[in-house]
């Protein structure tokens, strides 16, 4: 039946580009209704617009007025991405429904994708041959049915190959966290420590999507994080370490498409795609040795120990198949890491830890993960990497290297923790009574920080004065909220009162009254 | 995690409606970028626009020029569906991600939807709370994972309840074909025959989507098929039969949404949704007795006998659970039914069959299916319904009733087969050599008819001079193609030459030469 709906990719005609004043995420092509009639294209159809080596899939919008006949109205961003200027002619093609969609459909009857099928699917999605719905069909096949390890391996490989790849002439080290825990600024300590030991660690990281701060957001408080592939290839071998944003590098483009078009709008994160996402970017950045941080426990992506162990096993197996040496480390993730949440507050705390003055939890997690890389590199005997890493921090080697990295990335190498600008408006949340803190909710802390302005406003965030296990007297400060807007500060405070992110031991969570007494 | 992305349904403000000159399928709300900034709404967000009891989910498009601040630009169709006029104020709400999406997601871990979950999902989709991607997530859960019979029953029930329902004070009879075979005009013979016997058969049917003609398209050649629910409730009990288009009646609105937004664009037809689609419409039109035609064989929706039997069993079971008496009939579907394909040609052939002059295959299928309804109604003993139905046709009772129905539906009751206007441009496709016809491809015939102009141009179509099993001499006419455009006729003829819809017995399908001889 599907053969009926296949439309051949036919070159239709040339149309003149006109800029239109519309802003929406997906590309739209506004075409005069007369021109559409002549070309026998219906509104809402999909066309591909080509200009030399650039192309763009657009949805057709018909208008009798907005654009003259024989023109195509495009919004500014789409004109840029096609590398055209107004008045220039572009080629219009009618989209052909990609044949690889049949492979996706065959998942329904238990089909296993082979190498060439996966290559075709990845290519079709990467070059824009899939509509949003079709990308959803691919992603939801993974979500509902899963992929086996062979499929994940192949998918990972082609996802990496379809984007930029960085080739270094020596072994590359890396640390990756699957995320989910606010305040996880350990990369800012790990990277300079690993680099200080002479190992190459050109770390690419992401910006926050729903969390208060991604590693790239935090690092950007101290210096630039936008570097091209060529710049990274030139700088990293000299400094041995960098902390850059991966977003501009076009690493694993399929992953960006799937995240943006399907995973985020639907709020899903299919297991196989999550693995392929992480490892495709490791492959494309040339990583050989990887320590993988898997925060575990209630409120994390891996609520149970079993989930985390199974994920660790799959990750190490996937690494093995792809030629990476991977060691996974399960970490406690049931409360935020350290005390600072939000880009500026986290950058400040990371600098403190590097000076040996920050919270123990951040210090220990950082040196333990670094230690694993040291052991993989043979720099220390098994079980002693953490101590060696600790030495690097305490003897100032980490700090010296961090100053060098900040400098080479265009920041002030002499920046001190107290130089970091945080939100000018602050408010304290106090304990309503005496008690031990038995729990701090990751989700609640994230929401409060986001209400205060993170990740967009780097100065916003939350500072936790008390952590789980600590005693808190009535009137003691639980947390301070930072913002650069009074309005947002108030919103965040209201949220803190509603969400009650802290749990007191002995606190009554709910009172349930008995019904009226029944005479027996 | 999902709780993070839930946005409360907040009434934002009033905006003034302005008509914009854009045509695209999905509703767009063009809002001035300043207004969006003030409301903290991003472009591409989803908003709900409300006007009294009408509401519409729209995707936000930002523009600095097209609409003034504090206005919302809507296209003509959307303004109509909201029942507003330009200059009127409407309420803007930010969409809340529907909680029922969690039920959909839980399918992934094997969850079975309960009654209240299905009710909520159906309601949310029906009122427009789901985005296209979310509707895809619901549909693909069915496609990839399937539903059990309890779930299908409940889904069917709520799909019916969420739209228009027709209540007659007496038993209602119906015939339904799952489709897939071109030329299946039997409803035009069955309905008047059943009605002539005094049984009530107010048949709603569909228009063609990818096929050359739907029953509503064929009937529309002879008379009007657009009637309101009130008109049907008034007319049908008098004439005992009608043949109307179901599209305007808002029967099972979820089904229309799913077909339109997901099934058609992706080219899928999930089993459970197909069952729920058919039976929800039977429920909402008050059907008590149903004969279900299941065309079977290569090139149909049920390629194997096992598929068809399993589908028949599920259908009768679903009917039983919903209080309908259903009898399924497997029919031979490996070639078009009768000789005429296309609305006008099919209407003409149906009139011929009603006069006892049409092809045997159409006559026999019609009276056999009618006979099953006669037996269900107790009008004839088991096994003798077909003979009784045959009598109705041959004695002119079917014709008299058809004339009455055509008349009451606004057509010419005295219309003769030869009065039906068919395409003025025709071309014959001839046999290249002598031989028996062993196969006629449904798909190829559909494509040729569609190229000639069906279903949009009612006069277009294909007439088959030879059917499977018949002998054909070189130069004999295989088929005649009809069109009302010379260009489309040529396209259809070229397609006929390429697709070769007929297979000759003894015909060499492919010649494969050996490689050069290898000396041993």
**Regarding the domain delimited by B425-504, which CATH topology (the fold level of the hierarchy) does it fall under?**
Aldehyde Oxidoreductase; domain 3 (3.90.1170)
- pLDDT of A506: 53
Percent of chain A with pLDDT over 90: 70
**A511 against A4, higher pLDDT:** A511
For A370, residues 6+ apart whose C-beta sits below 8 A from its C-beta are: A175, A189, A190, A193, A194, A385, A386, A389, A392
A10-24, B192-206, B267-281, B445-459: least confidently modelled range = A10-24
Burial of B69-79, coded b for 16+ CB within 10 Å and e otherwise, reads ebbbbbbeebb
Per-residue pLDDT tens digits for A388-420: 999 999 999 999 999 999 999 999 999 999 999
A48-57, A114-123, A504-513, B17-26: least confidently modelled range = A504-513
Domain ranges (residues) in chain B: 2-94, 173-408, 425-504
Q: Is B405 exposed, middle or buried (0-12, 13-18, 19+ CB in 10 A)?
A: buried
**Residue B79: pLDDT over 80:** yes
Give the distance from CA A115 to its chain's centroid: 27
Q: Rounded distance, CA B19 to CA B85, Å?
A: 9
B449, B462 in Cβ contact below 8 A?
Answer: yes
Q: Is A124 exposed, middle or buried (0-12, 13-18, 19+ CB in 10 A)?
A: buried
Write out the H or E segment, with its range, that includes residue A379.
none
For residue B61, what is the nearest residue in chain A, using CA coordinates? A24
Question: How confident is the model over A373-377, as a mean pLDDT?
Answer: 96
Q: Rounded distance, CA A45 to CA A32, Å?
A: 14
**Regarding the domain delimited by B2-94, which CATH topology (the fold level of the hierarchy) does it fall under?**
Barwin-like endoglucanases (2.40.40)
A50-54, A223-227, B498-502: least confidently modelled range = B498-502
For B26, residues 6+ apart whose C-beta sits below 8 A from its C-beta are: A44, B59, B132
Longest CA–CA separation in chain A, Å? 91
- pLDDT of B505: 55
- pLDDT of B73: 94
How many residues can be counted in chain B? 520
Question: By the CB < 8 Å criterion, does B254 face chain A?
Answer: no
Q: Which of A150, A224, A269, A307 is catalytic?
A: A269
Name the 3-class secondary structure at B128: coil
- pLDDT of B45: 81
**B328 against A437, higher pLDDT:** B328
**Residue B519: pLDDT over 50:** no
B320-329, B415-424, B438-447: least confidently modelled range = B438-447
Per-residue pLDDT tens digits for B159-175: 999 999 999 999 999 99
**B339 against B12, higher pLDDT:** B339
Residue A170 DSSP label: S
A172-176, A190-194, B254-258: least confidently modelled range = B254-258
Q: Rounded distance, CA A440 to CA A461, Å?
A: 16
**Residue B244: pLDDT over 80:** yes
SS (H, E, C) A226-285: CCCHHHHHHHHHHHCEEEEEHHHHCCCHHHHHHHHHHHHHHCCCCHHHHHHHHHHHHHHC
Is the preceding peptide bond at A206 cis, omega within 30 degrees of 0?
no
Report angle CA A117, A121, A126 to the nearest 5 degrees: 150
Pick the CATH number of A173-408 from 1.20.120.1750, 3.40.228.10, 1.10.579.10, 3.40.1030.10: 3.40.1030.10
Q: A519 pLDDT band (50/70/90 cuts)?
A: very low
**Residue A503: pLDDT over 70:** no
**Residue B228: pLDDT over 50:** yes
- pLDDT of B8: 40
Interface test with A, best of B210, B265, B444 (most A CBs within 10 A): B265
Report angle CA B32, B38, B44 to the nearest 5 degrees: 55
Nearest to A2 among B1, B44, B267 (CB): B267
- pLDDT of B474: 85
CB atoms within 10 A of CB A478: 19
Rg (CA), chain B: 26
- pLDDT of B472: 81
Per-residue pLDDT tens digits for A420-472: 999 999 999 988 777 778 788 898 999 999 999 999 999 999 999 998 878 88
B455, B208 in Cβ contact below 8 A?
Answer: yes
**Residue contact A443–B136, C-beta within 8 A:** no
**Residue contact A268–B105, C-beta within 8 A:** yes
Fold match, A101-161 / A425-504: no
Per-residue pLDDT tens digits for B390-407: 999 999 999 999 999 999
A415, A209 in Cβ contact below 8 A?
Answer: no
Per-residue pLDDT tens digits for B96-151: 789 999 999 999 999 999 999 999 999 999 988 898 899 999 999 999 999 999 99
- pLDDT of B141: 98
Q: Rounded distance, CA B130 to CA B121, Å?
A: 9
Per-residue pLDDT tens digits for A170-182: 999 999 999 889 9
Percent of chain B with pLDDT over 90: 70
The residue among A2, A7, A86, A76 whose CA lies nearest residue A42 is A7
For residue A106, what is the nearest residue in chain B, using CA coordinates? B144
**Residue A520: pLDDT over 50:** no
**Residue A11: pLDDT over 90:** no
For residue B144, what is the nearest residue in chain A, using CA coordinates? A108
**B121 against B473, higher pLDDT:** B121
Q: B500 pLDDT band (50/70/90 cuts)?
A: confident
Question: How confident is the model over A119-127, as a mean pLDDT?
Answer: 93
Task: Domain A101-161: give its CATH architecture.
Answer: Up-down Bundle (1.20)
Q: Is A393 exposed, middle or buried (0-12, 13-18, 19+ CB in 10 A)?
A: buried
Per-residue pLDDT tens digits for B365-391: 999 999 999 999 999 999 999 999 999
Question: How confident is the model over A135-162, as a mean pLDDT?
Answer: 97
The residue among B333, B318, B329 whose CA lies nearest residue B281 is B318
Question: By the CB < 8 Å criterion, does A474 face chain B?
Answer: no
Q: Mean pLDDT over all residues of chain A?
A: 90
Question: By the CB < 8 Å criterion, does A391 face chain B?
Answer: no
Q: Rounded distance, CA A75 to CA A28, Å?
A: 7
Chain A contacts of B143, Cβ < 8 Å?
A: 108
**B127 against A116, higher pLDDT:** A116
Nearest to B133 among A4, A136, A446 (CB): A136
Residues of B serving a catalytic function are: 269
B46, B95 in Cβ contact below 8 A?
Answer: yes
**Residue contact A24–B44, C-beta within 8 A:** yes
Structure-token pair, residue A403: 């100053």
- pLDDT of A180: 85
**A404 against A12, higher pLDDT:** A404
**Residue A296: pLDDT over 50:** yes
- pLDDT of B282: 97
Name the 3-class secondary structure at A306: helix
**Residue B350: pLDDT over 60:** yes
**Residue contact B61–A23, C-beta within 8 A:** yes
CB atoms within 10 A of CB A109: 7
For residue B262, what is the nearest residue in chain A, using CA coordinates? A133
- Among residues 62-91 of chain A, which lie with CB inside 8 Å of chain B? 62-66
Nearest to B137 among A1, A63, A266 (CB): A266
- pLDDT of B299: 83
Structure-token pair, residue B286: 């008050």
The residue among B323, B301, B298 whose CA lies nearest residue B310 is B301
């Amino acid at each position: 039946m599907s053969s009926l709906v296949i439309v051949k990719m036919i070159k239709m005609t040339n149309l003149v580009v006109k800029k239109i004043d519309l802003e929406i995420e997906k590309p739209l092509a506004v075409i005069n209704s007369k021109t559409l009639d002549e070309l026998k294209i219906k509104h809402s159809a999909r066309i591909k617009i080509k200009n030399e080596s650039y192309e763009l899939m657009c949805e057709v919008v018909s208008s009798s007025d907005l654009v003259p006949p024989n023109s195509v109205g495009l919004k500014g961003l789409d004109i840029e991405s096609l590398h055209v200027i107004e008045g220039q002619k572009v080629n219009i093609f009618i989209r052909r429904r990609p044949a690889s969609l049949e492979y996706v459909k065959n998942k329904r009857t238990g089909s296993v994708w082979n190498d060439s099928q996966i290559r075709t699917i990845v290519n079709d999605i990467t070059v824009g041959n899939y509509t949003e719905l079709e990308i959803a069909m691919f992603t939801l096949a993974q979500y509902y049915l899963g992929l086996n390890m062979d499929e994940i391996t192949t998918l990972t490989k082609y996802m990496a190959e379809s984007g930029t790849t960085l080739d270094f002439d020596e072994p590359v080290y890396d640390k990756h966290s699957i995320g989910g825990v606010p305040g996880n600024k350990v990369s800012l300590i790990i990277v300079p420590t690993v680099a200080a030991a002479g190992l190459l660690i050109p770390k690419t990281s992401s910006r926050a999507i729903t969390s208060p701060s991604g590693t790239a957001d935090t690092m950007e408080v101290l210096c630039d994080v936008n570097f091209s592939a060529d710049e990274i290839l030139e700088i990293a071998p000299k400094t041995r370490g960098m902390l850059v944003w991966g977003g501009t590098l076009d690493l694993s483009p399929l992953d960006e498409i799937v995240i943006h078009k399907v995973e985020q709008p639907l709020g899903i994160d299919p297991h196989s795609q999550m693995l392929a996402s992480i490892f495709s970017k490791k492959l494309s950045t040339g990583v050989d040795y990887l320590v993988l941080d898997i925060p575990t426990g209630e409120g994390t992506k891996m609520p149970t120990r079993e989930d985390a162990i199974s994920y660790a096993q799959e990750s190490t197996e996937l690494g093995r198949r792809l030629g990476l040496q991977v060691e996974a480390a399960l970490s406690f993730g049931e409360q935020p890491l350290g005390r600072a949440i939000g880009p500026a507050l986290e950058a400040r705390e990371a600098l403190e830890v590097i000076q040996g003055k920050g919270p123990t939890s951040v210090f220990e997690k950082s040196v333990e993960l670094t230690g694993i890389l040291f052991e993989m590199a043979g720099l220390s005997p098994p079980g002693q990497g953490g101590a060696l890493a600790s030495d690097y921090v305490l003897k100032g080697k980490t700090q010296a290297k961090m100053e060098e990295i900040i400098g080479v990335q265009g920041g002030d190498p002499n920046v001190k923790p107290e130089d970091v600008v945080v939100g000018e408006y602050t408010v304290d949340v106090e304990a309503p009574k005496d008690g031990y803190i038995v729990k701090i909710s990751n989700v609640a802390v994230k929401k409060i920080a986001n209400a205060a302005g993170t990740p967009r406003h780097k100065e916003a965030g939350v500072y936790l004065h008390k952590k789980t296990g600590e005693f808190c007297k009535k009137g003691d400060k639980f947390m301070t909220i930072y913002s650069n807007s009074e309005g947002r500060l108030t919103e965040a405070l209201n949220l803190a009162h509603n969400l009650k992110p802290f749990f007191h031991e002995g606190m009554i969570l709910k009172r349930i009254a008995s019904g009226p007494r029944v005479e027996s």
